[in-house]
Amino acid sequence: MKACRIFVPYGALGTGILEESFIRGVEMKPDAIVCDAGSTDSGPYYLGTGKGKYAKDSVKEDLRRMILAGHQRNIPVMVGSAGTCGTDSGVDSLCELCREICREEKIQMKAAKIYCQQQPEKIKEKYRNHQIIPLEGAKPIDEQVFEKCTNIVGLAGAEAFREALGQGADIVICGRATDTAIIAAIPLMRGCNEAGAWHGAKIAECGALCTTNPTGGGVFLTFDEKGFTIEPTSLDSRCTAYSVSSHMLYENADPYCLREPLGILNTKTAVYEELDERRVRVWGSTFTHMPYTIKLEGAAHTGYQTVTIVGIRDRRILKNPQAWLSRLETYVERKLDHFHIERSSYDIDFKMYGWNGVSGACPKAGYVPNEIGVVMTVTAQSQEQATRIAKIYNPYLLHFPIEPEEQLPTFAFIFSPAEMERGPVYEFMLHHVVKVEDPMELFHIETEMMT
């Protein structure tokens, strides 16, 4: 029977795993150790700047474990979405860590670097040829958006990993990739069930999040000609039919269907069987091939921000925080007009934590919080302008009554100075797919020996 065993130690490179759980996963004799390293979950800053989210020390520690285990067992090690956002600089930074590890451990391994960053002119040509399609919720775009983006990446599919392995790579470091492609690649190469390969990859993409204890271990997948079996590598965790099946809801608009570059996974007919207290067997999902598309992600610099945080415990304000805030905004806007600061040149956002800072919805009638934290974020075209506006707000965030003739209340800034300059901020500009004839059309691979 065609089979393939994949060890996914981390939900994301840099998040760690207990040593005994990692050792147990390696002792289960995987055919590859694979891990995702990025996401858009943490917002556009990382794609906009090309910087990574996780601490370099943590990433290197996790990577060292994978490389040493791969070298000892003579199996490939693969990482996707390098450097959080998958830019070329993210690939190069992660490869530099691989070189350091190989030098420090005195080992030699062949690495393949999959570059996924896109040049604006090439994507413009696709746009002119009507080959770029918006996804649900995407903003309207024109050709200028590709120049505005500081970085654009395409999400590689399983084919990129297959080609890298075909070039004899021991280590594969990929730029932006679909979360599932890195896991599904080898099972697909070995002729395992296609739907099972994509389904198992989706379940395991975040490591132990599909188990009863997502904090200490990884997951181990066994793919075959009918489906897959999944189990945790931590002894204090279990995979259940519920924990496994529910992961189809994670980061997915449809609990049954998942779109991949070459088609759609459908899990409506899937069967989840608990083989014992720790393992779940899954089969019965289907996969339908579609015209090949590659998702594009792009982020652009949209301004600068200054933040002020103030804590409020005055009961008069807490009885109706929204009324107080609305009056304050109206009052200060007049001052900004007086200083000839155009309203179109800035944006101010208030969030009242303890009242509606998370949901944005008004609480039930009668609710009076014990205290609230008001976070004011000013966005403008320059850091100087953002801070100037925040400073104009400063005295009123410290003392401002809910009624005109009331005694002035006193609030508390969390820091001194109260204004915190966040620097440049970014916005996602592309949420589209591009049609391609060749899955590797937008990507290229380079190899090197690391010693």
Nearest to 333, CA basis, from 322, 353, 316, 347: 347
**Which residue matches tokens 């200083």?**
339
3-state secondary structure of 69: helix
d(CA 160, CA 12): 20
Contact (Cβ atoms closer than 8 angstroms) between residue 116 and residue 442: yes
Helices of type H across 28-87: 45-49, 56-73
8 forms beta bridges with 219
d(CA 72, CA 63): 14
Nearest to 218, CA basis, from 202, 206, 226: 206
The H or E element spanning position 161 is helix 158-166
**Which residue matches tokens 């451990």?**
105
> What are the CA-CA distances from residue 440 to residues 130, 180, 370, 445 (Å)?
19, 17, 57, 9
Contact (Cβ atoms closer than 8 angstroms) between residue 400 and residue 331: yes
In DSSP notation, 213-274 reads: -TTS--EEEEE-SSEEEEEESSTT----HHHHHGGGGTT-SSSSEEEETTEEEE-TT-EEEE
3-state secondary structure of 378: strand
d(CA 386, CA 304): 7
Structure tokens at 152: 């654009």
Task: Give 10-residue mean pLDDT values along the chain (451 residues).
Answer: 94 93 97 95 94 96 98 98 96 98 98 98 96 94 96 98 98 97 98 98 95 91 98 96 94 91 97 97 98 97 97 92 94 95 96 95 92 97 98 94 79 95 97 97 97 89
Instruction: Classify residue 315 as exposed, middle or buried by CB count within 10 Å of its CB (0-12, 13-18, 19+).
Output: exposed
Q: Where are the beta strands (DSSP E) in 116-189?
A: 132-134, 149-154, 171-174
Buried b (16+ CB within 10 A) or exposed e, 328-354: beeebeeebeeeebeeeebebebbbeb
> Which amino acid is present at 369?
P
Is the whole model's pTM more than 0.95, yes or no?
no
From the centroid of its chain, how far is CA 301?
A: 19
Please give the pLDDT value at position 215.
Answer: 85
Asked if residue 30 has a cis previous peptide bond (ω within 30° of 0), the answer is no
- Angle (nearest 5°) at CA 218 between 154 and 54: 50
